[in-house]
Amino acid sequence: MTSGTVLGRLPSGPVAGIAAGVLGLGVAELIAALARGTSPLLALGDRVIDLTPRWLKEAAVATFGTADKPILLACVALVTLALLAVAGALAVRRPVLGAGMFLLLGAVDAAALLADRAGNGAAGIVALVIGLVIGIVALVLLTRRLRGPGETPAEAEAPDGFDRRSFLIAAAAVTAVGAAGGVGAKVVTARRHPATRLAIPTPVSPAAPLPAGVELPIKGLTPHLTPVDDFYRIDIALLTPRVDLADYRLTIHGLVDNPIELTYEDLLAMPLYERRVTICCVSNEVGGDLIGNATWTGVRIRDVLRRAGLTQGADAVKSTGADGITIGTPLEALTDGRDSLLAIAQDGEPLTPDHGFPVRMVVPGLYGYVSATKWLTDLEVTRFADFRAYWTDRGWSAEGPIKTQCRIDLPRENPDAVGEVTVAGVAWAQHRGVSRVEVRIDDGPWQPATLAAEDSIDTWRQWSYRWEATAGEHRIQARAYDRTGTPQTGSEAPPAPDGATGYPTRTVTVG
Ligand SMILES: Nc1nc2c(c(=O)[nH]1)N[C@H]1C(S)=C(S)[C@@H](COP(=O)(O)O)O[C@H]1N2
Ligand SMILES: [Mo]
């Protein structure tokens, strides 16, 4: 047993624990995927998100932005690996303890699967149990090689017959089978998404042609339209709900004359509207990138509500997503004439799973957490006084109109020479419209920026400013005005409870 590799020096017990655990998890993931069950690993991650306190969530989004989920998953994976290693170390002397720890980990995961609201938790649990049995058998078999005849760990005493090389090969093989199961599970779920085979009917009301000049000819400036792949993603669902179109139903009920239930085909058969709308997250810090502009196609929410027939007294719609979220939206924003949509397409293609397939809400002028429900399954016409929603339960305000705001995107780096420097960015005040943007350098006077052509009052607007830069360090600030003539506020506030304020600021050193 004189393997000189790094692997060779790893303690065998933990190696056996990790190998057996990876095998069990891989098998469980694969079976869950094949049985259309909830992924045991993602269910665990989802539960962790649910139980994470708000301050920590905010810190995670602030620090890692939209990478918060991969990082959370990596943490869950690391903790799991560490616990598997401990189980392996225990199993060398006392197989029962090792197996017991596997069972304990399995029980925690089973609890997470039971709490799963989005998918098929039962099939996930069956898969988990099978994976658990296989993992425990592998753990016992692998660690048996490490025990001497009299229950003494082989490593310490190198008893006859212990061959570390063949042990490591066995452990590596077991790990590889588990990893293959995990990859297989990914492939199976990725192939299942049906959206690519769907065709979106031609809208009765297409989006207006893009006005000339919405795009300023400036290299490196944020494009007017955000490609789907670059579109920010914020939700509580680590486990992206996979909604089967055959089973999909949208229920509209509450304070209505006739509750209705619509299938996906029912929605496609209604008049479709296509609109460009910039949506934005209330968690967006000043200068942040949790905002994007897309072309959405869908049914007008007011058309659906009219079909159901509104009765007196309602002031809100409570919507529910397949991930279990509840969101409260002022009824007025859905009926006052703006194009609030039950969107089925983004940029002409069916919604992607990440952005709410098959149906999501898009409401011009309101932050996502009070309006942009993804994987929408239920609309209840109600009163704000009669319900609580997911985020308002967590301290965010019940109403969330988007605040007038702007962002400085250029210059991205310190200008290397004095003279003309292009300062540019985007500004938004959805459903009021942006009328003016100003820039100031080093607390000097506010100077007007050049605005790109307005697409609509529901979309952001690019702006630019030519700055005669002098050598040294400078502070650039910008502010936007909405069409009522009101400038954004300069007083600084954090995202909670209803959206960050303050001037975007960039400090650069010239020369
Ligand atoms: N079902 C569901 N819908 C949701 C959320 C969610 O967690 N679950 N998050 C909301 C929030 S906070 C925002 S900002 C937008 C983000 O939409 P996007 O991920 O498509 O950019 O979705 C909203 N809709
Ligand atoms: Mo959000």
Model pTM score: 0.73
Residue 152 clears pLDDT 60, i.e. is over it:
no
Instruction: Tell me the pLDDT tens digit for each residue of 244-279.
Output: 898 899 999 999 999 999 999 999 999 999 999 999
At 32, the pLDDT band (50, 70, 90 cuts) reads very high
Average pLDDT score, the chain: 91
Look at residue 160 in the predicted model and tell me its pLDDT: 52
pLDDT of residue 149: 57
Q: Return the CATH class of domain 228-394.
A: alpha beta
pLDDT at 176: 95
CA of 280 to the centre of ligand 2 (A): 7
Beta bridge partners of 293: 278
Output the CA 272–ligand 1 centroid distance in Å.
22
DSSP annotation of 201 reads P
pLDDT reading at 98 higher than 60: yes
Assess if CATH 2.60.40.650 describes domain 405-510. yes
Buried b or exposed e, range 190-200, using 16+ CB within 10 angstroms:
eeeeeeeebeb
Q: Which amino acid is at 368?
A: G
Determine if ligand 1 sits within 6 Å of the CB of residue 235: yes
Q: Confirm whether 228-394 and 405-510 share one CATH topology.
A: no
The separation between the first and the last C-alpha atoms of the chain, rounded to the nearest angstrom, is 62
Over residues 42-87, the pLDDT tens digits come to 888 878 877 877 777 777 777 776 677 778 878 888 999 999 999 9
486-499 CB burial, b ≥16 within 10 A, e <16: ebbeeeeeebbebb
**Nearest protein CA to atom 10 of ligand 1, as residue:** 369
**In the predicted model, is pLDDT for residue 9 greater than 70?**
no
Q: What pLDDT, on the 0 to 100 scale, is given for residue 68?
A: 74
Query: Can you give the pLDDT at residue 144?
Result: 86
The confidence band for 148, taking pLDDT boundaries of 50, 70 and 90, is low
Closest C-alpha to 88, from 148, 14, 146: 14
- C-alpha pair distances (Å), 430 with each of 32, 159, 292, 403: 43, 74, 12, 8
Q: Which ligand is nearest to the CA of 354?
A: 1
Q: How many residues does the chain have?
A: 511
Annotated domain spans of the chain: 3-190, 228-394, 405-510
d(CA 303, CA 309): 10
pLDDT at 320 over 70: yes
What is the residue with the minimal CA distance to atom 6 of ligand 1? Answer: 235
Asked whether residue 283 carries a pLDDT value surpassing 80, the answer given is yes
Q: Is the CB of 461 under 6 A from ligand 1?
A: no
